[in-house]
Amino acid sequence: MAIVYMTQEGYDKKMAELAHLENVERPEVINAIREARDKGDLSENAEYDAAKERQGLLEAKIAELKTLVAGARIIDESKISTDEVQLLNRVTIKNVANGMKMTYTIVTETEANLREGKISITTPIAKGLLGHKVGEVVDVQAPAGKMQFEILDIAI
């Protein structure tokens, strides 16, 4: 079983998703299968086939989430420093080429969500920033080519 590092918030979200799948969606699928079965001949019953397929996908997702949370290790956020960029820091950077400022929180892969400004520690930008301090200019090899970012702020 792989160890996956998560914040308490990320772990709680995964547990809530798992509870929803088990307590809401699973009973809905079972009910849909029961209703389709009650309609008679299963050999040509598209509703039954669709419900069974949905059940298979749902059970696979539940199993995946259970494996993920079973291997989860909660990161102790009290040990996080802002001396240099590290996991769970909120980093404000400036693109040296165009002056555009961006703020990202560096999180684990399972918690990345660009809409929330959370980037995975495995992305080129996060990798390039790790271990650097405020005021440093870092070179980042991104898919679009080499970019330079100045670190303006590191926060928790």
Q: 6 falls in which pLDDT band (50, 70, 90)?
A: confident
pLDDT in tens, 54-100: 999 999 999 999 999 998 889 887 888 889 999 999 999 999 999 99
**Residue 9: pLDDT above 90?**
no
pTM: 0.69
Class of domain 78-155 as given by CATH: alpha beta
How big is the chain, counted in residues?
A: 156
**Residue 106: pLDDT above 90?**
yes
Class of domain 4-74 as given by CATH: mainly alpha
| CA-atom Rg of the chain in angstroms | 22
Cα distance between residue 114 and residue 126, in whole Å: 13
Cβ atoms within 10 A of the Cβ of 123, count? 17
Cα distance between residue 65 and residue 144, in whole Å: 33
What is the helix (H) or strand (E) element at residue 10, kind and residue range? helix 8-20
Mean pLDDT score, 130-143: 93
| Cα–Cα separations (whole angstroms), residue 15 to 8, 48, 66, 138, 156 | 10, 29, 9, 37, 24
- Say whether 45 sits in a helix, a strand or coil: coil
Choose among 121, 96, 92, 95: nearest CA to 108.
121
DSSP state of 113: B
Which pLDDT score is estimated for 142? 82
Which pLDDT score is estimated for 1? 62
pLDDT in tens, 18-66: 999 999 999 999 999 898 888 877 777 788 888 899 999 999 999 999 9
Which pLDDT score is estimated for 115? 94
Which pLDDT score is estimated for 89? 93
Domain residue ranges in the chain: 4-74, 78-155
Cα distance between residue 92 and residue 15, in whole Å: 30
Place of tokens 């990320």: 10
Cα distance between residue 38 and residue 127, in whole Å: 56
Task: Give the strand pairing for 101-107 and 118-120.
Answer: parallel
